[in-house]
Amino acid sequence: MGQNSEHKYTKKQVENFLEACLNKTLGEIDKNHVFDRTKTNPKITGIAGDVIEQSVFGYDANSDSSPDLDIDGILTELKTTGIRISKKNPKEYEAKEPMSITGVSPNIIINEEFADSRFWHKLAHLLFVYYLYASDKTVLAAEYANFLVKGYQFLEFSDDDKKILEQDWLIVRNFIRSLEKDESKYPEISHLRDKLLFIDTAPKWPNPPRFRLKRTVVSNIVQKHFNGSLEQLPKTYETYAEIDRKCHEITNLYKNKTVSELMKEFAIDGKIDKGIGERLVVKMFGGNAKKMQNIDLFSKIGLLGKTIVLTEKGKRTEDMKLFRINFDEIANVDEQFTDSIFYDYFNENQILCIIFEEHDSKDFGKNTFLGFKRLSFSDDFIDLNVKSTWERIRELVIYKKLKDVPVLNSKGKPRINKTGIAQTAPNFPKSSEGIIFVRGDSSDSTKKPETVNGITMHRQYIWIKGSYLTQKLDGITFL
């Protein structure tokens, strides 16, 4: 690996440089006039990183595969990273996007071992500089001048996280070795996604793919830096295979026990509803949090817990709610599908289906635990089902085709709610039109807190059809 001998600093120097940048805009700290380039190239990418490199550290950008800085003799990779205010919790930040690491170069990686790989040299010692991407829309490069620098962080991965990164890298390296330079099979590299915990590769072949830290991983780093830590599990897991084995052990211990029995077993008090599935899983893994996303590992790898209730004949009882729609993003004309929250959700997350059998539709406590199935979404599913729904929602919003229409019952008559008022809903894609659809959700049917194109509505969520899940899960064996 080459060494950037001209980029030598002490840690104290680096801290002084960056402390002077905090809560100033990128424009204010741009003493070398890097933003002048946006006058002739308004859509230039990487402008924030260029400002930090050139106007703060005083060196020009390069494509060298070695880390950027020598800090007290330690080669350190500088990552200027966009963060934004979380839609789930306005008091938290999340990563704007996945983080590119280095190219997946088949002719190089086949001869590498992890400790000496380009990949690990880029990740061994990191310096994050965080700027707040204060816009729901894609902005031109010049507008980055208004974004504030909010923090910086020296990061070295823990031994446990390093082992996960090594196992992920080995999965990719060994896949490429197995191809024996047969380029016709390289597109299958994107099929490794459901095996990888912390990383993925993008773009798709034949474009030269790069290793990336998943956005969930970067968000986890961001949230721990700004808000403190999440709960650690008592045992470490380095691969999905290890998580799957743990799920198998849990199933052997608790299969066919009722929800009420499991709550007693794990000393869980409170309301018995579908949310109990996640609490039980966390307890089964040795944790205490109420939600899987409050567990450090599950948060980082994007493993979401969803309770599935099957009838005694094995049929799915209902559709599954996934995430709330961000209409500011939807209205962004320049947004590309692969940069959207929709794409991120299906591309980066997997669903741990916590499966129960229903014995009394009015008493969730009588449901019995059957086990786990892990659900991931293929590129074909995303391109065929998710993208078409995303495009349709955008068409309705951007071209002002959105309408508030009556909600009809099974007989084709207007549905009346308890207050005697006929129900209405926007004409978003419905479950009758596709596997991925939109449905409003509210604890109070009379309140409509969301307004889009002047139409008031309940908060709108993306759902996946229950009949599809039944069919999909039928083809997946229990863990």
pLDDT band at 314 (very low <50, low <70, confident <90, very high): low
Cα–Cα distance, 369 to 389 (Å, whole number):
33
**H-only helix segments in 24-100:** 47-51
pLDDT band at 52 (very low <50, low <70, confident <90, very high): very high
CA angle, residues 68, 72, 73, in degrees to nearest 5: 70
Token pair, residue 6, equals 């001209």
Answer yes or no: is pLDDT of 457 > 70: yes
Cα–Cα distance, 232 to 253 (Å, whole number):
23
Answer yes or no: is pLDDT of 63 > 60: no
Angle formed by the axes of helices 341-348 and 215-227, nearest 10°: 100
Cα–Cα distance, 411 to 277 (Å, whole number):
35
pLDDT band at 1 (very low <50, low <70, confident <90, very high): very low
162-212: per-residue pLDDT in tens? 999 999 999 999 999 999 878 788 888 988 999 999 999 988 888 889 999
pTM over 0.75: yes
- For range 243-250, the mean pLDDT: 97
405-438: per-residue pLDDT in tens? 887 777 777 777 777 677 788 999 999 899 999 9
Element (H, E) at 65: none
Short-list 384, 366, 361, CA closest to 311: 361
Within a 13 Å sphere around the CA of 254, how many CA atoms are in the beta-carbon half?
29
